[in-house]
Amino acid sequence: MNALLKWLAVIWAVLLWSAAPLPAVAGPEKWTPLEKDGLHDPQGPAIHELQQPGEALSQMPPDSVGNQVRWVEALRKGVINPRTNILPETKIQVLDQDLIYGNTGDNWFVLFPHKAHTEWLDCANCHEGVFKSKFGATGFKMMDILAGKACGQCHGAVSFPLTECRRCHSIDPGTFKGKLGPQQAAGGKP
């Protein structure tokens, strides 16, 4: 069996085994209406006041997985403009630095973009709990990610799912001429 098939088999095994519910995609509609989501009271008077997810999310750059929105693209294109802070004293820091991982077996290298993360997240969401602030110091493998650790704390839970190998494994080792680790030229793919 080739490596990709082997890993897909592992992922499906983990997904089937895990108790985490998969995103609900109902029939021909991509988004479950509020009255059918199991959270809202379908008889409640407010149900018609609330905006349906399909009405809001269908305006966004589409994705074929997860909640069907390419959120990074939505932010970059200005389709959404989320408030960065509620309290004025909250300090916002965006770090434009990419890290490239090379222990990927037969698969493409992994590019981790700090920018696409720190536009939504605080440094403290990852440092020093999930990741140490030194490339390679945390030490994690694909199996850890599939088990919900490291990148897997968010990917497959709130951010794009782990079935999208190429979104992380985005660097072709055949054409990549740079060095692994923290990149000098930040802001996207080299």
What residue ranges bind ligand HEC (CB under 6 A)? 3-4, 7-8, 11, 70-72, 93, 95, 99, 101-105, 107, 110, 112-114, 116-118, 120-121, 123, 125-127, 130-138, 141-143, 145, 150-151, 153-155, 159-160, 162-165, 167-169, 182
Minimal distance, residue 47 CB to ligand HEC, in Å:
28
DSSP, residue by residue, the chain = --HHHHHHHHHHHHHHH--SPPPP--TT-SS--GGGSSSS-TTSGGGGTSPPHHHHHTTSPB-SSTTSB-HHHHHHTTS----S-SSTT--------EEEE---TTSPBEEEEHHHHHTTS-HHHHBTTTB-SSTTTS---HHHHHTT-GGGGTBTTTBS-TT-HHHHS-B-TTT--S-SEE-SS-SS--
Task: Report the residue number, 8 or 47, with the smaller CB distance to ligand HEC.
Answer: 8
Q: How many CB atoms lie within 10 A of CB 71?
A: 21
CA distance 142 to 148: 10
Task: Report the residue number, 60 or 165, with the smaller CB distance to ligand HEC.
Answer: 165
Minimal distance, residue 91 CB to ligand HEC, in Å:
10
Minimal distance, residue 160 CB to ligand HEC, in Å:
4
Task: Report the residue number, 12 or 50, with the smaller CB distance to ligand HEC.
Answer: 12
Task: Report the residue number, 36 or 127, with the smaller CB distance to ligand HEC.
Answer: 127
Task: Report the residue number, 46 or 87, with the smaller CB distance to ligand HEC.
Answer: 87
Minimal distance, residue 179 CB to ligand HEC, in Å:
12
Minimal distance, residue 102 CB to ligand HEC, in Å:
5
